[in-house]
Structure 1
Amino acid sequence: MFINPPRFWNLMARSYARRPVQNQAAYEYKLNITSRHLSPQDRVLEFGCGTGTTALIHAPKVAHIDAIDYSSEMISIAQEKAKVQGIKNVNFEVSAFDCWPIPVSGQQYDAVLAMSILHLVLDLDATLDRVRSSLKEGGLFFSSTVCLEGLEKFVIPALGTIGLLPKIRVLTQEILVERVQAHGFEIEQKWRPETGSTAFIIARNSG
């Protein structure tokens, strides 16, 4: 494999930060739906936070956010944005999700966000187990995940296999819902825009 994922995203970070959101209406819809489920006392974890845009938007609505990404350059950009915006309740840290400590009993998060990341994780089942362990009983898991269809499900993963892109997991919305449910979550809402490849799911830790 030619690509080291953290190095790839470090190289892409500045251009990624300048790139406009592909579907702004869908992004804002997901932000609005998520914000309706957040409360001022909530503690939130976002893994694969990228340049921090989503965490910073939600920050005024919650008590605290831990936002992590294994790309140090992405986190540097996020920290710069937080400083410019004067936001102090988001803790941006360089960390892979599987290296981030699971909270002890009684200190789990109220919500976990995984936006545009589940299709990139090496072990989906281990990741979902870790999400559940990080959430308090009744806590919410928000995810937006690329679900490939048509030629994309052959071409894009092939580019990952030969090392021209990070490896991308081929998922459908149905498979993703099934895996989330299998790990102890109840699906509260699922949505997919008419155009686009992302599936947005809200799931509750059933305990």
Structure 2
Amino acid sequence: MNVAVVTVGDELLAGRTTDTNATWLCERLADRGATVERVTTVPDRIAAIARVVNEYRAEYDAVIVTGGLGPTHDDVTMAGIAAALGRSLEEHEEALAWLEEDGYSRAELTEGTAALPEGARALHNDVGVAPGATLEGVYVLPGVPTEMRAMFESIKSEFSGTTTHLVEVVADEPESALLDRLAEVQDRFDVSVGSYPGESVRLTVESTDEEIAEAAAAWLREHVETA
């Protein structure tokens, strides 16, 4: 399952807020065997959200969008999703019923709190107020990390794929000196190899077969200087 992640927020683009949502989602999706092929941040503008979501939903099995939910002036994500899907925004009766069960009367809720694209399935916000939504392979989650994580947990079963096994080896050699060993381990084993330099070089070997991944890592440990 190929997935794109879109995070929404002017504050992300200005560097005022760190985008932890994308990293967390990528980790959880990888754990489930789904492949994230695109992570994009867009501003709080309906046209920008609609353009990116419309492009990605044609390319990927699912698009997860986080941020910009609620009734305030800069919460325009639902409108952007509706525009991308050619739907109108409507008050969602099921979402309103959930909120009432949580102790919110309709009179207390700001207008637009439960406005979702027509035909969407509402996603209940167990630790917040504004509901999420899913429709046509697009999943819309809150931007508040605690709310986003709780909501994703409620839908994680809808994301799947072939689980891969990753093993790490730390090498105490310059990355440029490792090129021959990196090429050879890929010739010997059916693995993907990553190389990430820093104070030392972190090497990763990844395979859908755990035994092959472990064997490739063992071969590397024998053939590189380890930290």
Question: Which TM-score applies when normalising by structure 2?
Answer: 0.32
Q: Over alpha carbons, which structure has the higher Rg?
A: 2
Query: TM-score, length-normalised on structure 1?
Result: 0.34
